[in-house]
Structure formats: structure tokens, C-alpha cells
Amino acid sequence: MSIFRDLGIRSIFDEDHSIVEKRWIALGVAATGVLLAVVYTWTEKDQENVSVRIIPARRATTAEQSTYEDSL
């Protein structure tokens, strides 16, 4: 997913939904210019490789857009 290439990506740990696996929530701009909210897991395979599993991805809400813009 292209938001992981966004230099302004904002990612926080999702403590409320990380009981079975560690989940993260990210806000970032896709290559299409759309701001997305993505929930994902991140597993390091070795020092150079990671596995990212996207759980859901959707357009960011107005509140999420404000959060992203305020953090830049």
C-alpha cells in the first residue's frame, strides 16, 4: 500500500485491539492523493525484511484528516 511511502505518515499503536496480535493505525496519503486510515500488523522477518498485513483500509474521516494535517 502506497501510504507507507508517504514521508508524512502518522502511525500509532492500537492498544485497544492488540490482544491477539500487535496492531497499528496509520494515516497517510496514497499515490492517488487520497488520505487513508489503515490498520495493520508489522512482523520483522529478518534485519532487512518485514511483513505488513493490512486489516482494513478506508478513506480518512474529517477528524482524522485534521489530525494528520495538524501533525505536519
Q: Which residues of 30-60 are buried (b: 16+ CB within 10 A; e: fewer)?
A: beeeebbbbbbbeeeeeeeeeeeeeeeeeeb
8-66: per-residue pLDDT in tens? 999 999 999 999 999 999 999 999 999 999 999 989 999 999 999 999 999 999 999 99
pLDDT of residue 2: 85
pLDDT of residue 40: 96
Q: What is the pTM of this model?
A: 0.85
pLDDT of residue 1: 59
pLDDT of residue 24: 97
